[in-house]
C-alpha cells in the first residue's frame, strides 16, 4: 500500500502536468489568434501532444516527480524553471527536425511562458490541496521508544503525507519531543487508538509474538480499515533502500526468488544487445578523438583494464577510457593499492580532459564491449573491484548476494546515493540500494533508472 500510494501520487502529478500542457495550448491559441477556433486547435493538437510527452520525460529526467525535494519550494521552483528552459530547447529542435503544417515558433515561446506559470501553479495546488486530501496517512508505531526518533526522521525527510500520530512503546526509552504524537503503553487498546487518532497504518518494530497480547490485539484490526506492516517494509518503500539491520538469511529466503526473474533476465538481455548497438557505433565514432585528447592531456595509455566481480562472483575484465594520471609502473593512478574514487570535481588524480570524461561518463563508454560480451547489463549494481569485495564480505557476509544478478553500467544506487564513496562504510550504505534493486528489479524500474541517469549526467553529479 505504501508503494502504491507513492506511485499514485507521482502519477496524479504526471497526469495533471499533461492536462496543464493542453490547457496552455488552448490559451496560447486564444491569445495568439484572438479567439478559440477548433480548426486551429486541431492543427496544433498532434504536434503539441507529442511534444508534451517529450516534455513529461524531461520533467522526469530533471527529477520533478521525486518527492524528496517536495518540501523545499525554492528548490522545486528552480528545478521547474530549469526543466522548462530545457523543454524550450527541445521544442525548437522538435519542430526543426519534424516538419508540421504550422508555424510554431511564435506560438512555442508563448506556449512555454503560459505552461511555466500554469504548471508551477498546478504543482503548488497539488502539494497543498490534492496531496494532503488524498495522500495523508496517519501512522501508529508499536516498538521500542528509542526507535521512534529514527522513524520520525525518515518520515519527515521522505514520507510525503505520512505522519507519525501514535506510539505504543513496548520498552521505555527516550521519547521524541513532538506534541502531535500521542504515547501509549497498553497494546490491548489498539482498536480504541485507531478510532481516536484516525490511524490508517500500523508499523511494527517487533514481531507480534515478541510482545505479550500484541498478536491478539492485531487480530481485531482485521475488521478495520487499517494496514499492518513491519518497519523494514515502510523504510524500504519510502527511502528506496533495504535497511541492513533488518537483513538476515530469512529476509533473503522470503524476498529473493531468482527462478521467478528468469523471463525478465532473458528479455532484458535482448534489450541490452539492442541498445548496445547504437551506443557501440557512437563509441567507435568518438574513439579516435577521445584517444587523441587523452594522449595530448596526459602521458600514458588511453584505455585501461580493471578486474571486476560480475554475476555469481565471477571476475571479468572491464574496459574504460583513462581519466587519471599514471602514477605507478603498472600504468594505474594508485601508488598504494586500490583506492575509492572521490568526487569527480575534486579528485586530484584526474587530469583536465579526464575530469570532463568522468563527469560526462564518457570514460564508461568502452564498457559497451562488456555489455555485448554479457559481462555487464545496461542496468544493474555497479561491479566492484575484488580488492574491495573481500573486506566488504568480511564486514557483511550477505554482500556477496548482490552478485545474484548481472552488474550494470548504471544502477539504482548510482541514482539515489550520489555521495562519493570514500570508505567501506559508504559502500555498505550503497549496498542497501543494490539490495532494493535486486528485490524489485523490473522493466519499469530499469526505465526509471535510465531517465534518472540522464539527469545526473546532465547535472554532472555523482562520481
Q: How far apart are CA 88 and CA 84, in angstroms?
A: 6
Assess whether 115 and 147 both reside in one domain. Answer: no
| N-terminal to C-terminal alpha carbon distance within the chain | 34
> Exposed, middle or buried, 241 (CB in 10 Å: 0-12/13-18/19+)?
buried
Task: State the CB neighbour count (10 A cutoff) for residue 172.
Answer: 10
Q: Is 58 a member of any domain?
A: yes
248 found inside a domain: no
Q: Are 231 and 275 contained in the same domain?
A: no
Assess whether 64 and 174 both reside in one domain.
Answer: no
Mean pLDDT, residues 265-270:
90
**Is residue 245 included in any domain, yes or no?**
no
Is the same domain home to 144 and 130? Answer: no
Does 311 have pLDDT greater than 70?
yes
Q: What is each CA distance from 280 to 79, 209, 275, 284, 378, in whole angstroms?
A: 32, 56, 9, 6, 12
Could you tell me if residue 252 is inside a domain?
A: no
Domain end (from 111, 134, 157): 134
Single residue among 239, 272, 304 that ends a domain in this structure:
239
pLDDT band at 242 (very low <50, low <70, confident <90, very high): confident
333 and 234 together in one domain: no
Is residue 239 over pLDDT 80?
Answer: yes
Residue 244 lies in a domain: no
Considering the domain architecture, whether residues 221 and 282 belong to the same structural domain is answered as no
Note whether 54 and 171 are same-domain residues: no
* Domain count along the chain: 3
pLDDT by residue (tens digit) across 444-458? 889 888 888 888 887
More confident residue, 299 or 420: 299
The answer on pLDDT for 420 being more than 70 is no
pLDDT band, very low/low/confident/very high, at 343 (cuts 50, 70, 90): low
Contact between 28 and 114 under an 8 Å Cβ cutoff? The reply is yes
- The reported pLDDT for the residue numbered 270 is 92
Domain coverage including residue 232: 137-239
* pTM as predicted: 0.76
Asked if residue 157 and residue 108 are part of one domain, the reply reads no
- For residues 229 and 370, membership in a common domain is answered with no
What is the full DSSP assignment across 300-326? S-SEEEEEEE-GGG-EEEEEEE--B--
Q: Which one of 84, 110, 134 terminates a domain?
A: 134
Model confidence at 71: pLDDT above 90: no
Give the CATH number of the domain where residue 159 resides.
3.40.50.720
Q: Looking at the structure, tell me whether residues 96 and 147 fall in a common domain.
A: no
119: pLDDT strictly greater than 80: yes
Pairing status of strand 303-309 against strand 315-321: antiparallel
> Within this chain, do residues 196 and 128 fall inside the same structural domain, yes or no?
no
Query: Is residue 123 situated within a structural domain?
Result: yes
183 and 35 in a single domain? The answer is no
Q: What are the pLDDT digits (tens) for 16-56?
A: 999 999 999 999 988 888 888 888 888 888 888 999 999 99
Residue 418 located in a structural domain: yes
Is 83 domain-assigned? yes
Amino acid at each position: 500500500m505504501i508503494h502504491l500510494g507513492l506511485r499514485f501520487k507521482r502519477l496524479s502529478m504526471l497526469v495533471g502536468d499533461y492536462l496543464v500542457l493542453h490547457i496552455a495550448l488552448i490559451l496560447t491559441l486564444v491569445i495568439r489568434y484572438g479567439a478559440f477556433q477548433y480548426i486551429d486547435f486541431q492543427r496544433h493538437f498532434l504536434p503539441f501532444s507529442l511534444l508534451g510527452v517529450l516534455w513529461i520525460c524531461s520533467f522526469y529526467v530533471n527529477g520533478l516527480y521525486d518527492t524528496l525535494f517536495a518540501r523545499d519550494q525554492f528548490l522545486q521552483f528552480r528545478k521547474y524553471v530549469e526543466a522548462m528552459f530545457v523543454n524550450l530547447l527541445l521544442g525548437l529542435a522538435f519542430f526543426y527536425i519534424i516538419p508540421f503544417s504550422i508555424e510554431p515558433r511564435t506560438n512555442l515561446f508563448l506556449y512555454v511562458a503560459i505552461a511555466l506559470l500554469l504548471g508551477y501553479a498546478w504543482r503548488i495546488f497539488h502539494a497543498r490541496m490534492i496531496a494532503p486530501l488524498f495522500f495523508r496517512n496517519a501512522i501508529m508505531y508499536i516498538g521500542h521508544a528509542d526507535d521512534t526518533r529514527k522513524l520520525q526522521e525518515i518520515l519527515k525527510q521522505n514520507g510525503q503525507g505520512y505522519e507519525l500520530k501514535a506510539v505504543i512503546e513496548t520498552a521505555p526509552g527516550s521519547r521524541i519531543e513532538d506534541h502531535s504524537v500521542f504515547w501509549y503503553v497498553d497494546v490491548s487498546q489498539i482498536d480504541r487508538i485507531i478510532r481516536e487518532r484516525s490511524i490508517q497504518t500500523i508499523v511494527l518494530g517487533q514481531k507480534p509474538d515478541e510482545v505479550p497480547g500484541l498478536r491478539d490485539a492485531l487480530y481485531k484490526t482485521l475488521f478495520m480499515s487499517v494496514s499492518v506492516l513491519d518497519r523494514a517494509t515502510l523504510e524500504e518503500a519510502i527511502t528506496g533502500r533495504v535497511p541492513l539491520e533488518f537483513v538476515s538469511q530469512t529476509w533473503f529466503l522470503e524476498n529473493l526468488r531468482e527462478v521467478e526473474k528468469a523471463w525478465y533476465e532473458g528479455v532484458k538481455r535482448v534489450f541490452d544487445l539492442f541498445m548496445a548497438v547504437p551506443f557501440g557505433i557512437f563509441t567507435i565514432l568518438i574513439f579516435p578523438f577521445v584517444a587523441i585528447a587523452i594522449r595530448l592531456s596526459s602521458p600514458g595509455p588511453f584505455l585501461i583494464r580493471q578486474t571486476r566481480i560480475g554475476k555469481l562472483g565471477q571476475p571479468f575484465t572491464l574496459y574504460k577510457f583513462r581519466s587519471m594520471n599514471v602514477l605507478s609502473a603498472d600504468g594505474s593512478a594508485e601508488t598504494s593499492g586500490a583506492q575509492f574514487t572521490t568526487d569527480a570535481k575534486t579528485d586530484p588524480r584526474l587530469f583536465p580532459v579526464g575530469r570532463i570524461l568522468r563527469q560526462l561518463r564518457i570514460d564508461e563508454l568502452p564498457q559497451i564491449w562488456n555489455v555485448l560480451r554479457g559481462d555487464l547489463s545496461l542496468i544493474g549494481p555497479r561491479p566492484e573491484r575484488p580488492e574491495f569485495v573481500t573486506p566488504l564480505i568480511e564486514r557483511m557476509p550477505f554482500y556477496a548476494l548482490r552478485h545474484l544478478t548481472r552488474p550494470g553500467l548504471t544502477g539504482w544506487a548510482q541514482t539515489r546515493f550520489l555521495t562519493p564513496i570514500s570508505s567501506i562504510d559508504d559502500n555498505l550504505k550503497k549496498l542497501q540500494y543494490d539490495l532494493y534493486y535486486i528485490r524489485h528489479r523490473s522493466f519499469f524500474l530499469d526505465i526509471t533508472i535510465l531517465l534518472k541517469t540522464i539527469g545526473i549526467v546532465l547535472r554532472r553529479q555523482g562520481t
